[in-house]
Structure 1
Amino acid sequence: MNHILCGLAANPALPSELVDRLITVADDEIATELAARPDLSHAQALALAALGEGTAVHLAYEGRLASADIDPVAQPRAALALLDTGAGLPEWARRFATDPVIERREKLAACPDLPPDVTDTLAADSEIAVVAELALWTTPDMAARLARHPHAEVRRAVAANEATPPAVLEMLLTGDGLPPALRCLVCDRERTPAAHAHPHPHLADDLPPGAFCTGSHESTVHDMWRQALSNPATPARAAAGFAGHSSALLRWSLAARPDLPPEVWGRLADDPLPGTRADLAENPAVDATHLRALATDVSPDVRRSLAHNPRVPLDLLTSLAGTVKIGATLLPRIAAATPAEVESLATSPDPAVRMLLAARRDLPPGIRDALAADTDAKVLKSIAPHPGLSEARLRDMIDRHGVRVLAKVATNPDASPSLLEHVTRHDPPVQKAFREVARHRNATATSLLACLTDRRARPLAAAHPSLPVPVIVELLSDAEGRVSEAAAANPSLPSAMMLKLTP
């Protein structure tokens, strides 16, 4: 990998004529960087697409190529990418529907808005993987048709398709109105497709662990049910019947559904699987009574999920604040707190509650400044990145709590150049603070030079436009490839040096 040329390819200040020169010598890594340039001309995009189909696919998905730019015979993957974005031609779809390469037919089956004759061809494909892919993404009418397919793998894909009609999804759960499936992937791989004597894990590499069949396609049917239960289009009445199923995975699939009756919530709240209870705890449709019951759950994961529920009662959330590790995350319920609730939270005697509030970035100046004067370091770390804090308040945080808040102070978008220099001079130093300073827009040459002393901050500092030009040039020969690449990508690199580095 040529780090210098990769860096130049990503440099936003690279002149267009040097982009042209790089295209002529580009390998895959350089081409990838060039393809991501927002200033790429159409002619340059065409030249890059001609270098390799991987780059052409990327450019097609980015909307940099049109159907007139692609030969589907020479670059089938790029043509399929255009079909996937809706920019391909119908005749391409008809060509790929009978392509001898299975992977191309499978990719086509996932494309939107296919002509009806193409979907008919794909639905009759001899490869089940192609038909299953079509079933996963197709229209309601075709999904209803494929629900009767004799292969259980196709029905499993229909169950996952959110366009499948609700009545069809219910039939997949109950089996009513559908002929039984005749085959599954396990049956396909047996010399005799008759029922096995006993369920057993199958050793085929392309089957999931535990796949088995005794003639009823058990593992595939189980996965079909799981997909249907997770599908929001499945009627709630049909899904609710699985709340007492012996399969923990099926019960777990129900827990995040917003449309279940309260009696099902109660049943799931007592589920032995913590994952089921955790998903239920985060479900915004669950009523306060069940949420309060979940607040006493023995599993910290359940209580943590409850804290992330956007409709958790505020008093319940504050009681959880000190019992679960939430971290510096803005919880949905805190983000939605009313002005009166914000004032109440700001004066809570529990620092864990004040820390949660401090994660907001739209606090009134008075409350923001009061939290910035808090005596608890957790609160200060949470409030330190808040816009609008004065330099005096940020320096005061450092004076009072030093290394515990230093890195968070450095993330404040309004941190002044002098404050960032103060951060880099702190004794003892904090390595993470160097990384935050190195990516800050207000970092000065002085602070960036200090950041170069930290291994992980060094590439960040090398890419900063405020770094002195002689230092940028010197870093081009750094032994660490990431550093030299970052220096080459620095927009402050003189154009004369860019010209010298370009073959």
Structure 2
Amino acid sequence: MNRLLCGLAANPALPPELVDRLIALASAPAGPSDRTDHPADHAADHLGDVLVWHLSERTDLGPAQVAALAALDEDTPVRLVRDGHLEACDVDPAVWPLAALALLDEGRGLPEWARRFAADPDPSLRRQLASCPGLPADVEDALAADPDPEVAAELAWWTTSAPVAARLARHPHAEVRLSVADNEAVPPAALAALLTGDGLPPALSCLVCDSRETPFAHDPHCQDLDCVLPAGAACDGTHGSTVHGTRARALANPAAPPEAVAAFAEDSAVWLRRAVAEHPGLPAEVYARLAADPVPGVRASVARNPGTGPEVSRVLAADPDVEVRRAVAQHPRVPFDVLERLTPTTRLGPHPLPGIAAAGPEALAEGAASANGRVRMLVAHRPDLPPELRDRLAADRDASVAKAVAPHPGLSPERLRAMVALHGEQVHARVAANPGAPGDLLVELARHEPPVRRALREIASHPNATAESLLPCLSDAKARVRAAAHPALPAAVVVGLLDDADAEVVEAAAGNPSLPAEVMARRVP
């Protein structure tokens, strides 16, 4: 019953009077029998919470329904803000502070709210405020001077003001400096000071010495469930672990001056060298040195770094470590000749590589004409191929190339049929995933014997699927859930699935807009 009601709450065709009944049900006191194992309800304690979750996502709520949902608890107005049901004129920050902060976070709140929360005695509200974009300058100044270092640290992470970021880089609490080291708004000189300490007053405290007597080194196998200190946290009065973490973040920050970063390229700490290897603006000779680092993780960071040149990529393409070679393929400007060298020894995955995603028409044409089928396949994964390249790759006699290009929009039904005729079951699922696959082709694929289960799962959620192609999908457990939600499934079949043994099928069927209104009415208490 719980999963059925959740499905009905999300059903776009649910009549307004039944929405009202579900809102009333959600506001009713909950008993032990109301608990649900719904995947989206990990944090909810009873059925009402799950119903509110689904109801607040509806796009057809009227003002009275929104008001009824908002009155349920302090969290629901936040959901209603995020889903676009509440605006600033609907929210009193004194009554719904979390909703007001959500509006500020989305840029839809009022400036006076920011000033109100900056002076609020509750530090958790000030912390939330500190992460909001576009705060007035006086509010940022107040948060930067906040007595709670966690508030200042949150601002340090998010501020886009260079003067505020520079001020926070000199904050007396080391945790604030740790947060600001990630921020690209920090001026280069301030980042250099975080790296070297030159001209920077020592930090006076950190999270470790705030809560422990020093010297202290956190047990990496700490069994205290209430402990919030990270593994490796240590302080002997110099806030060691926090200072080292600050350096690592500053080294990887693109705004850090290259000369200050390069000085750490041969540091004895592996994690600092790895942070240097992630910096995109270093001289070529620094990347060349790091490419010879004995630690694979450092070499992998160099390999994927957009600042490294093709010479380094060619060296690392022959690296003995497979993760380094995969990182080479992730470089945003990896040359096609390097990909040619990688494909015989390295599995690169099915997703478009950054270099191919950024390639221009000439480079794509070069890759599509490669004699290496793996390279053509990598090109074929790019979703916005020029039509002539897309069609050429669709006719490729290598099934892996055809599979990669088969879901691309724009392929004609004739080309899709030709791919099925040439490659058979190998391309069924990918052809079925094509948004332009016509209904009669989907019927043919659905009726294939033996069934191609991956194809059935694509057909079950395809917008062009018809009842004739959906019915075979009910034979596969995963496709059955998708088919149960498809509006083209006959209403009588959908009604029957409301009593299915699989709770996911029940919820999907209950959310199907083709479910008759009278059946919905009978199922809502």
TM-score (norm 2): 0.87
Report deviation, 1:296.
Answer: 1.1
Q: Distance in 2 between the 1:366 and 1:86 partners?
A: 43
Residue 148 of structure 2 aligns with which residue?
Answer: 127
Residue 210 of structure 2 aligns with which residue?
Answer: 188
Tell me the amino acid that sits aligned with residue 436 of structure 1. E
For structure 2, the 5+ residue unaligned runs are: 27-47
Tell me the amino acid that sits aligned with residue 105 of structure 1. R
Change (3 A) 1:145 1:438: same
| Alignment partner of 2:397 out of 362, 375, 383 | 375
Task: Work out whether 1:232 is the aligned partner of 2:254.
Answer: yes
Change (3 A) 1:92 1:397: closer
Report deviation, 1:94.
Answer: 4.2
Q: Distance in 2 between the 1:217 and 1:135 partners?
A: 18
Task: Work out whether 1:146 is the aligned partner of 2:146.
Answer: no
Residue 12 of structure 1 aligns with which residue?
Answer: 12
Cα pair 1:46 1:65 within 8 Å, conserved? no
Change (3 A) 1:291 1:54: same
Report deviation, 1:362.
Answer: 4.8
Change (3 A) 1:331 1:69: same
How high is the sequence identity, in percent, across the aligned residues?
Answer: 56
| Alignment partner of 1:173 out of 174, 180, 195 | 195
Report deviation, 1:117.
Answer: 5.1
Q: Distance in 2 between the 1:104 and 1:88 partners?
A: 15
Tell me the amino acid that sits aligned with residue 433 of structure 2. T
Q: Distance in 1 between the 2:389 and 2:114 partners?
A: 60
Q: Once the two structures are superposed, what CA deviation does each residue of 1:51-81 show, in whole Å capped at 9, x if it has no partner?
A: 2222211222344322332233332222222
Task: Work out whether 1:432 is the aligned partner of 2:451.
Answer: no
Tell me the amino acid that sits aligned with residue 373 of structure 2. P
Report deviation, 1:84.
Answer: 2.3
Change (3 A) 1:210 1:3: same
Q: Distance in 2 between the 1:379 and 1:454 partners?
A: 27
Tell me the amino acid that sits aligned with residue 60 of structure 1. V
Secondary structure of the corresponding residue to residue 278 of structure 2: coil
Tell me the amino acid that sits aligned with residue 24 of structure 1. A
| Alignment partner of 1:472 out of 486, 494, 498 | 494
Cα pair 1:9 1:489 within 8 Å, conserved? yes
Q: Distance in 2 between the 1:445 and 1:420 partners?
A: 11
Report deviation, 1:445.
Answer: 0.8
Q: Once the two structures are superposed, what CA deviation does each residue of 1:258-285 show, in whole Å capped at 9, x if it has no partner?
A: 2111111112211233233223222233
Q: Once the two structures are superposed, what CA deviation does each residue of 1:354-405 show, in whole Å capped at 9, x if it has no partner?
A: 2223223455666545544433321222132234445455445445544332
Residue 77 of structure 2 aligns with which residue?
Answer: 56
Tell me the amino acid that sits aligned with residue 416 of structure 1. P
* More moved, 286-295 vs 56-65: 56-65
Report deviation, 1:100.
Answer: 4.2
Secondary structure of the corresponding residue to residue 148 of structure 1: coil
Report deviation, 1:324.
Answer: 1.6
Cα pair 2:218 2:229 within 8 Å, conserved? no
Q: Once the two structures are superposed, what CA deviation does each residue of 1:6-39 show, in whole Å capped at 9, x if it has no partner?
A: 2122222233443333322232212211222233
Q: Distance in 2 between the 1:105 and 1:343 partners?
A: 54
| Alignment partner of 1:306 out of 328, 332, 341 | 328
Secondary structure of the corresponding residue to residue 456 of structure 1: helix
| Alignment partner of 2:50 out of 21, 26, 29 | 29
Change (3 A) 1:337 1:179: closer
Tell me the amino acid that sits aligned with residue 83 of structure 1. L
Task: Work out whether 1:488 is the aligned partner of 2:510.
Answer: yes
Q: Once the two structures are superposed, what CA deviation does each residue of 1:223-247 show, in whole Å capped at 9, x if it has no partner?
A: 1111212222222222222211122
Residue 32 of structure 2 aligns with which residue?
Answer: none
Report deviation, 1:221.
Answer: 0.1
Change (3 A) 1:174 1:364: closer
* More moved, 348-357 vs 448-457: 348-357
Change (3 A) 1:332 1:97: closer
Task: Work out whether 1:75 is the aligned partner of 2:96.
Answer: yes
Residue 405 of structure 1 aligns with which residue?
Answer: 427
Q: Distance in 1 between the 2:491 and 2:218 partners?
A: 66
Report deviation, 1:2.
Answer: 2.0
Cα pair 1:403 1:428 within 8 Å, conserved? no
Q: Distance in 1 between the 2:232 and 2:331 partners?
A: 34
Superposition RMSD on alpha carbons, in Å?
A: 2.6
Cα pair 1:171 1:178 within 8 Å, conserved? yes
Change (3 A) 1:319 1:24: same
Tell me the amino acid that sits aligned with residue 498 of structure 1. M
Tell me the amino acid that sits aligned with residue 471 of structure 1. V
Q: Distance in 1 between the 2:383 and 2:129 partners?
A: 45
* More moved, 445-454 vs 412-421: 412-421
Change (3 A) 1:266 1:119: same
Q: Distance in 2 between the 1:315 and 1:55 partners?
A: 55
Task: Work out whether 1:422 is the aligned partner of 2:449.
Answer: no
* More moved, 436-445 vs 359-368: 359-368
For structure 1, the 5+ residue unaligned runs are: none
Residue 262 of structure 1 aligns with which residue?
Answer: 284
Q: Distance in 1 between the 2:394 and 2:138 partners?
A: 65
Report deviation, 1:461.
Answer: 0.0
Residue 346 of structure 2 aligns with which residue?
Answer: 324
Secondary structure of the corresponding residue to residue 452 of structure 1: helix
* More moved, 474-483 vs 328-337: 328-337
* More moved, 356-365 vs 449-458: 356-365
Q: Distance in 2 between the 1:51 and 1:474 partners?
A: 34
Q: Distance in 1 between the 2:358 and 2:183 partners?
A: 33
Q: Once the two structures are superposed, what CA deviation does each residue of 1:124-149 show, in whole Å capped at 9, x if it has no partner?
A: 44432223223322333333223322
Report deviation, 1:322.
Answer: 2.8
Residue 354 of structure 1 aligns with which residue?
Answer: 376
Task: Work out whether 1:106 is the aligned partner of 2:130.
Answer: no
Report deviation, 1:344.
Answer: 4.4
Cα pair 1:201 1:212 within 8 Å, conserved? no
Change (3 A) 1:497 1:283: same
* More moved, 322-331 vs 211-220: 322-331
Residue 278 of structure 1 aligns with which residue?
Answer: 300
Report deviation, 1:112.
Answer: 3.3
Cα pair 2:12 2:58 within 8 Å, conserved? yes
Secondary structure of the corresponding residue to residue 235 of structure 2: coil
Q: Distance in 2 between the 1:282 and 1:34 partners?
A: 44
Report deviation, 1:190.
Answer: 2.3
Task: Work out whether 1:244 is the aligned partner of 2:266.
Answer: yes
Cα pair 2:336 2:367 within 8 Å, conserved? no
Q: Distance in 2 between the 1:75 and 1:210 partners?
A: 39
Report deviation, 1:91.
Answer: 4.5
